[in-house]
Amino acid sequence: MAREEFPGWHGTTIIGVKKAGEVVIAGDGQVSLGQTVIKGTARKVRRLSPGGFDVVAGFAGSTADAFTLLERLETKLEATPGQLARASVELAKDWRTDKYLQKLEAMLIVSDGADIFVITGAGDVLEPEHDVAAIGSGGNYALAAARGLMDSDRSAEDVARDAMAIAADICVYTNGNLTVEKITA
């Protein structure tokens, strides 16, 4: 069966917020197939610790593809301990040039507590301008909400949670069942 014959998988909103010396990455738990919710408790945010170096990663897109990318990122981090930017660029280069990896349909938000990066299959490693990054079907809603909340007294976690709640109210492919990971530099 050709890939385009499968019904569309939708779901996932992932947000990364950097504020007051900490980074929070939060993701919803919904996985949908067409207009049907298949699962409401998926964990799309993970903590990686290659060589004792903590990184938090959230993914949107195909789960199998995202896990492949997370494994590759761990390998890159083991080769360049403590250098998330370099490992991210190396992953993006491989993703862009490797024929197998080019077919992967996922995006990542990663952080070591000091930096946040969005890694895409187009070879991009993006650092957000306003200390907020979001991906997935509800990503634009969460991004807009978080940007509006950044000047408040709320913590990074509160901004992420409030933004995800707003996205869940707007995007039918996003739910309020969150996985939240916090990391400091």
Q: Do residues 8 and 105 lie in contact, with contact meaning Cβ atoms separated by under 8 Å?
A: no
Q: Does the pLDDT at position 29 exceed 60?
A: yes
Q: Does the pLDDT at position 3 exceed 90?
A: no
Q: Do residues 146 and 163 lie in contact, with contact meaning Cβ atoms separated by under 8 Å?
A: yes
Q: Does the pLDDT at position 60 exceed 80?
A: yes
| Domain extent for 89 | 3-184
Indicate which residues carry an active-site annotation.
Answer: 12
Say how far apart CA 179 and CA 17 lie, in whole Å: 14
What's the pTM? 0.91
**Per-residue pLDDT reduced to its tens digit, 35-59:** 889 999 999 999 998 877 899 999 9
**Per-residue pLDDT reduced to its tens digit, 124-171:** 999 999 999 999 999 999 999 999 999 999 999 999 999 999 999 999
pLDDT score at 121: 79
pLDDT score at 10: 55
Instruction: Find the CATH number of the domain harbouring 97.
Output: 3.60.20.10
Q: Does the pLDDT at position 120 exceed 70?
A: yes
Give the CB-side neighbour count of residue 68, counting CA atoms within 13 A. Answer: 18
Say how far apart CA 120 and CA 171 lie, in whole Å: 22
How many domains, the chain?
1
pLDDT score at 2: 43
Q: Taking all residues of the chain, what is their mean pLDDT, rounded to a whole number?
A: 90
